[in-house]
C-alpha cells in the first residue's frame, strides 16, 4: 500500500500541473458522459420495450377483432336465411331443388362455406350444396342437436361425414370446420328444420397471412390461435399445448396481456381473449409472437447510438480540457520561470520596464503579471462553465425531442391512420371511463353505431382509393357534428362508433338524425370521380342500469343498426324503441 502511494506521488511530482489538470478533467468528462449515456440508454430501452409490447398487444387484439368480425358476418349470413321473409316460402315448400339453389347462391357469394344444408327436425338432410349428404341423417352431430334448441356456433373440428367427399387440402392437412346452425320456424313459430353451415377453418389462416404480410419480415412475427383450454387451433402443431396451464388460466382471467417465453429462443408474446358473447362465444385466444432479439433490435441500435454519441462528446470534452489546461498553465509556467530566474539571478533586480525603481518595478511587474494570469485563469474557468452549459442544453434538447417523438408515437397508437379518429382500443378506454361515471352518478350516455350503406359498391365502382376518401369524409362529418366531450372512433371497415356523454334519448336521436342527413347531403369528389354520394344507417342505445359494461351498450346499438339495415338502410333506429325514427323518404 505504501509502495503504491509512493509511486503515485512520484508520478504526480513528475507531471506538470497542465498535464494533471488535463488528465483529471478528461477522466471527469468520461465518467459524466458514460453515466448520462447509461441513464439515457436505460430510459430509451424501457420506453422502446413498452412501445413494442403495446404494438404486440395491439396486433393480437386486432387479429381477435378480425376473427370476431368475420365470424359475426358469417353468422349473420345464415341468420338472414332464417329470418328474412322472402326465404320462408322456400323452407316451407320442401322443394329440394329450390332450397339447394338458395344454398348454392350463398356458397357462391363466399366459397369459404364448404357445406351448407337444410335438415329436417328428424335429422335428414333435405338439400345441400352440390347435393352432398342429401338423404343422410346428421341427427347425431352436435351442431344439429344444438341447432334444434337455438342458434349455435361449434368450435373447430375435423371432417367426418364430408371427409370422403372433399378433395385433399393444398397443404395436406385434414379438413377442419367451424359449424354454424340456426333453427328455422314457420310463420306460426313451429320448427320446420335447421340450416347448418360448415365453414372451412382455412379462413383463419387467410386472415393471419393477410396481417403478417403487412409486417416487416425481419421482425419474424407470428400469430397463433388457441382454444380456451390452451390447445393449438392455428400454429406450429394442431392440438398442441405450447403454454403451461397456469399461463392459459391467467390469459382466460385477463391477467396476462404480454409476457416473455424463455423456452428455446426468448420470445415476446402478447395474448388477447377473443369475445365470448353469445352466440359466438368460442373463447379463442389470439397470441402474437416475436423473438426478443428481433423485437428489441431497434432498442439495441438506439443504445449503441447513444453510447457512440457519448464517446464523441467525451472526446470533445478531453480535447477541450487539454486546450483549457494549456491556456491556463502556459502563462503560469512562463511566470514561474521568470520568478525563478529573478530568484536565481540577483543581477536581474535592475529589470527596467518603462520607468521606476528596478526592484519595485520588477516586483510590481511580477505581481501585476501574477494577477493578470489569475484573471486569465478565471476567464478560462468561465469559458469551461459556459461550454458545460452548452453541452447540458444540447443534452436537454435531445431528451426533449425524444420525449416529443414518444408522445407522437403514443398518439399514433391511439389513432386510426385513415380517418385520424380514435381507434377501437383508445375508444374503449374512454368508453369504460364514461360507463363507470354512469354507474356512479347516473348521468346519461349513449352509443351510436354508424355504418356506410352499400360501401362495397363504392369500392367496386370507383376503386379502393375513392372508398378510403369516402370513409375519411364520413368520419370527418361525424366528428364535426359532435361536442368536444364526445368521442368518435373508427371500429374498422366502414363502421364508426360514437360515445355521447351527458345526453338523453331525444338528444341522441336528434344528433344521429343530423349525422344521417349531413352525410346524405354531402356530394364527394374522390380520386378523379365526382358526384359520389353515400348514405349511412345508424343504430343507437342508451346505457341502462343492467348494462354490466360498455360492451353491452355497444351490442344493443349494433342490434339496432342491424334492424336499420334490414329495414332498408339510410335510417336511424334506437334499441330503446321499436319504431323507425327516420327514413330517407321522410
Quick one: what percent of the chain has pLDDT higher than 70?
A: 78
The answer to whether 543 and 553 have CB atoms below 8 angstroms apart is yes
73 conformational bin, left if phi > 0, alpha if psi -120 to 50, beta if neither: alpha
Check whether residue 386 and residue 477 sit in a common domain: no
Task: Note whether residue 26 is domain-resident.
Answer: yes
Q: Element (H or E) spanning 338, and its range?
A: helix 297-344
Task: Note whether residue 522 is domain-resident.
Answer: yes
Check whether residue 123 and residue 166 sit in a common domain: yes
Q: Could you say which of 204, 219, 234 is where a domain stops?
A: 204
Q: Could you say which of 173, 188, 204 is where a domain stops?
A: 204
**Could you tell me the CATH number of the domain that includes residue 110?**
3.30.450.20
| Cβ partners under 8 Å of residue 237, min gap 6 | none
Check whether residue 118 and residue 198 sit in a common domain: yes
Give pLDDT, residue 330: 66
Check whether residue 490 and residue 454 sit in a common domain: yes
Quote the DSSP letter at residue 222. E
User: Grid coordinates 472526446 are at which residue?
Assistant: 315
Task: Note whether residue 269 is domain-resident.
Answer: no
Task: Note whether residue 72 is domain-resident.
Answer: no
What confidence tens digit (pLDDT) does each residue in 425-449 have? Answer: 999 999 999 999 999 998 899 999 9
Check whether residue 107 and residue 179 sit in a common domain: yes
Range of the domain at 395: 2-48+299-413
Q: Is the C-alpha dihedral spanning 472, 476, 478, 484 positive or negative?
A: positive
Q: Could you say which of 204, 223, 255 is where a domain stops?
A: 204
Whole-angstrom distance, CA of residue 212 vs CA of residue 223: 8
Give pLDDT, residue 10: 60
Check whether residue 17 and residue 106 sit in a common domain: no
Q: For residue 128, give the nearest of 93, 153, 99, 160 by alpha carbon.
A: 99
Give pLDDT, residue 126: 93
Check whether residue 401 and residue 539 sit in a common domain: no
H helix intervals, 184-291: 202-212, 245-252
Check whether residue 429 and residue 489 sit in a common domain: yes
Q: For residue 113, give the nearest of 203, 180, 198 by alpha carbon.
A: 198
Task: Note whether residue 215 is domain-resident.
Answer: no
- What's the pLDDT band for 87 if we cut at 50, 70, 90? confident
**Could you tell me the CATH number of the domain that includes residue 539?**
3.30.70.270
Check whether residue 396 and residue 304 sit in a common domain: yes
Task: Note whether residue 516 is domain-resident.
Answer: yes
What does residue 337 show for φ and ψ, rounded to 5 degrees? -60, -40
Residue-level length of the chain: 586
Check whether residue 97 and residue 189 sit in a common domain: yes
Total count of domains within the chain: 3
Quick count: other Cβ atoms within 10 Å of Cβ 456? 11
What confidence tens digit (pLDDT) does each residue in 111-167 have? Answer: 889 899 999 999 999 999 999 989 999 999 999 999 999 999 988 888 788 877 888
What string of DSSP letters covers 432-466?
Answer: HHHHHHHHHH---EEEEEEEETTHHHHHHHH-HHH
Check whether residue 399 and residue 429 sit in a common domain: no
User: What pTM was estimated for this model as a whole?
Assistant: 0.48
Check whether residue 397 and residue 449 sit in a common domain: no
Task: Note whether residue 521 is domain-resident.
Answer: yes
Task: Note whether residue 363 is domain-resident.
Answer: yes
Q: For residue 572, give the nearest of 506, 500, 487, 492 by alpha carbon.
A: 506
Burial 207-224 (b: 16+ CB within 10 A, else e): bbeebbeeeeeebebbbb
Amino acid at each position: 500500500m505504501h509502495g503504491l502511494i509512493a509511486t503515485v506521488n512520484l508520478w504526480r511530482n513528475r507531471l506538470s500541473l497542465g498535464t494533471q489538470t488535463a488528465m483529471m478533467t478528461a477522466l471527469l468528462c468520461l465518467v459524466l458522459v458514460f453515466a448520462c449515456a447509461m441513464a439515457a440508454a436505460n430510459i430509451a430501452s424501457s420506453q422502446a420495450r413498452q412501445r413494442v409490447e403495446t404494438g404486440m398487444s395491439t396486433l393480437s387484439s386486432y387479429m381477435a377483432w378480425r376473427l370476431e368480425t368475420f365470424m359475426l358476418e358469417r353468422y349473420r349470413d345464415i341468420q338472414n336465411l332464417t329470418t328474412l321473409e322472402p326465404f320462408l316460402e322456400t323452407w316451407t315448400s320442401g322443394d329440394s331443388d329450390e332450397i339447394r339453389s338458395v344454398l348454392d347462391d350463398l356458397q357462391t357469394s363466399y366459397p369459404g362455406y364448404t357445406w351448407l344444408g337444410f335438415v329436417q327436425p328428424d335429422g335428414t338432410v333435405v338439400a345441400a350444396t352440390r347435393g352432398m349428404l342429401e338423404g343422410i341423417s346428421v341427427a347425431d352431430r352436435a351442431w344439429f342437436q344444438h341447432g334444434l334448441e337455438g342458434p349455435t356456433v361449434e368450435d373447430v373440428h375435423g371432417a367426418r361425414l364430408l371427409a370422403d367427399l372433399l378433395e385433399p387440402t393444398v397443404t395436406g392437412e385434414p379438413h377442419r370446420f367451424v359449424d354454424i346452425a340456426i333453427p328455422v320456424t314457420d310463420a306460426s313459430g313451429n320448427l320446420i328444420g335447421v340450416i347448418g353451415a360448415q365453414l372451412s377453418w382455412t379462413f383463419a389462416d387467410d386472415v393471419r397471412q393477410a396481417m403478417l404480410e403487412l409486417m416487416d419480415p425481419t421482425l419474424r412475427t407470428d400469430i397463433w390461435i388457441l382454444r380456451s383450454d390452451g390447445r393449438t387451433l392455428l400454429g406450429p402443431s394442431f392440438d398442441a399445448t405450447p403454454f403451461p396451464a397456469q399461463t392459459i388460466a391467467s390469459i382466460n382471467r385477463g391477467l396476462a396481456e404480454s409476457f416473455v417465453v424463455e423456452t428455446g429462443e426468448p420470445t415476446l408474446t402478447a395474448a388477447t381473449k377473443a369475445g365470448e358473447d353469445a352466440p359466438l362465444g368460442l373463447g379463442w385466444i389470439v397470441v402474437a409472437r416475436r423473438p426478443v432479439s428481433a423485437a428489441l433490435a431497434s432498442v439495441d441500435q438506439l443504445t449503441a447510438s447513444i453510447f457512440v454519441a457519448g464517446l464523441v462528446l467525451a472526446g470533445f470534452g478531453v480535447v477541450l480540457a487539454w486546450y483549457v489546461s494549456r491556456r491556463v498553465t502556459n502563462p503560469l509556467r512562463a511566470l514561474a520561470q521568470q520568478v525563478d530566474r529573478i530568484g536565481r539571478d540577483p543581477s536581474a533586480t535592475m529589470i527596467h520596464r518603462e520607468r521606476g525603481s528596478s526592484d519595485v518595478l520588477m516586483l510590481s511587474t511580477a505581481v501585476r503579471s501574477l494577477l493578470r494570469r489569475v484573471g486569465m485563469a478565471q476567464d478560462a474557468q468561465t469559458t469551461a462553465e459556459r461550454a458545460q452549459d452548452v453541452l447540458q442544453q444540447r443534452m436537454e434538447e435531445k431528451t426533449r425531442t425524444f420525449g416529443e417523438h414518444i408522445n407522437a408515437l403514443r398518439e399514433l397508437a391511439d389513432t386510426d391512420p385513415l380517418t385520424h379518429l380514435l381507434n377501437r382500443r383508445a375508444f374503449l378506454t374512454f368508453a369504460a371511463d364514461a360507463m363507470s361515471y354512469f354507474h356512479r352518478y347516473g348521468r346519461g350516455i349513449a352509443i351510436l353505431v354508424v355504418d356506410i350503406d352499400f360501401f362495397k359498391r363504392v369500392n367496386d365502382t370507383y376503386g379502393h382509393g375513392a372508398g378510403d376518401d369516402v370513409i375519411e369524409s364520413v368520419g370527418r362529418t361525424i366528428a364535426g357534428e359532435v361536442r368536444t366531450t364526445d368521442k368518435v372512433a373508427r371500429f374498422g371497415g366502414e363502421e364508426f362508433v360514437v360515445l355521447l356523454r351527458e345526453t338523453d334519448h331525444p338528444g341522441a336521436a336528434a344528433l344521429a338524425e343530423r349525422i344521417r342527413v349531413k352525410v346524405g347531403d354531402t356530394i364527394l369528389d374522390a380520386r378523379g370521380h365526382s358526384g359520389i354520394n353515400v348514405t349511412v344507417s345508424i343504430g343507437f342505445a342508451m346505457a341502462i342500469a343492467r348494462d354490466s359494461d360498455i360492451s353491452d351498450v355497444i351490442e344493443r346499438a349494433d342490434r339496432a343498426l342491424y334492424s336499420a339495415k334490414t329495414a332498408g338502410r339510410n335510417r336511424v333506429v334506437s334499441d330503446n324503441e321499436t319504431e323507425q325514427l327516420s327514413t330517407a323518404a321522410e
